[in-house]
Structure 1
């Protein structure tokens, strides 16, 4: 219960408090009750409750008002009114939902009618099934349009007069023994199958051969049949097998290997850049001193550190200046410690940017 704000007043020379509770104004005083008791009165004087004095007479006064039978009845009446209002709101919401449901059903019917009209106006023809198109038969068998055996029934009076057909090479299924893999279904019986994105050359994949799982590398792009060429691991002959992308599972790349490769390429590139222009000033206008070595390129916007055995011991906004400092530290150290210049991680100032243990933590 939150205490109301009391305002101290004086009634006929006696101390009293005035406060508001539940929209009504009360006064608590000792004027007519004698020692040890307080009277709590409405301002209009129609209601009086005697409150026994305690350590905090104001708290006792409020507690009596709240705990009176009249107050409890008022609270119950308010709760009843709230429940009735919520029931009324719920009934109104249910009525709205019924109206919305009816409108949604009507809209679905209209969409279905429009869909039927669109289908009637956009009947597929053989031109919609070029060579390599993946299709599915009414029985659910998958196949690939072969680009031949295309035609239309032109015999007047025939039950299929005017219907077009295409040649399809069906995917092998268990038990077909090589038969029934080519036919000429009517185009109005075929469903287009969205092609899966084929794995790229160089990606690692797995596929099943019977009960065995084979690891392989993609070496050929998609052919006319929609298959990609792969070479199985351990196949010393390098035989290329063509497999449907739907049967392949692309392996997630090894992040550690990618990171190591990126570090190696970055180091090699920087070494080549440094070797290509020896003795030239950096973008900040500084040159390497004799004996100083730098394997990275000096750029604006980086903070470079001189790393010893334990984190950076010096910092600079220029890689060349940092390299000169590293050479000085190495000369003073008599070669006991190897000093290297690297870009400091912008998020973790004690780590190298390219090998930050925090950024690349698993």
Structure 2
């Protein structure tokens, strides 16, 4: 396995970063003569090293906040509440864990606080340390591990959340490209509802993944690690496009009556093809940091569909239709209007990313 292979595989780069973090943290613990060979420093470095720099920053911040809260409260309980026997220790543990667990339920940053309090209460006596001394050691180790994780994330095959986010956004757009023609086909022919639900769930999961990466990218921007466009507009636009597809899917739960559906395959097929091509072109433009594709094919396809619906109404074919079918027709029309608007937003977002790449000189390496 050569260096080129490693550089081209984000999972291998992540493995190297985690391993480097563990070794560096262990080495520092030996230099500082931290008890237990710096166990918690090494564990912290491994746990908070994430796929991107922004992810490591977030994990380190949360871990330090949680450890500080758990160490301070746990040591206070250990000093103030006597616990000479196992029953008293159990009561002291409950007294320490209950409020910290509640704090963790309110704020994810405190997730490690109960764990830290338990360490301070149970391990300090085994090591011959006073509770406050144990708490200080735990906090010191977490700070060392977190600092090592962030530095390694910055220096060892660094992965920027912006670059990872573009790949995730491209994945979302590719899923939407595959889904749109199928969802539109449901208005004129029977489709498998379970398969449609699976497609919608897959898109939803992909959007959530991108939003998490966008949050990490925002942290990178806050500490001025890189000058990149704000990922927020892209995240909001993808979420709105996902909602458009949900509305289309709900409107197309069953084919429309033959007198309507018989006239819609051609405009809907053209619209599905235009939408698919636009999604794919936007995905390619984002990942390559190029200009956005034109909107004219989308606008023409939506106009052709609207024209056909107007002709259907003029011919009186919608008269006497069940209310449910009319709702589906109106629902599709509304969703297509929103889709057209959000396609225009996507074009602006892609253009912003292309301009950002030009201003920064070149794309940031993944």
Coarse TM-score class (shorter-chain normalised): under 0.3
- TM-score scaled to structure 1, two decimals? 0.18
Greater C-alpha radius of gyration: 1
> Higher strand fraction: Structure 1 or Structure 2?
1
Q: 1 or 2 for the larger relative contact order (CA 8 Å, sep ≥6)?
A: 2
- TM-score scaled to structure 2, two decimals? 0.18
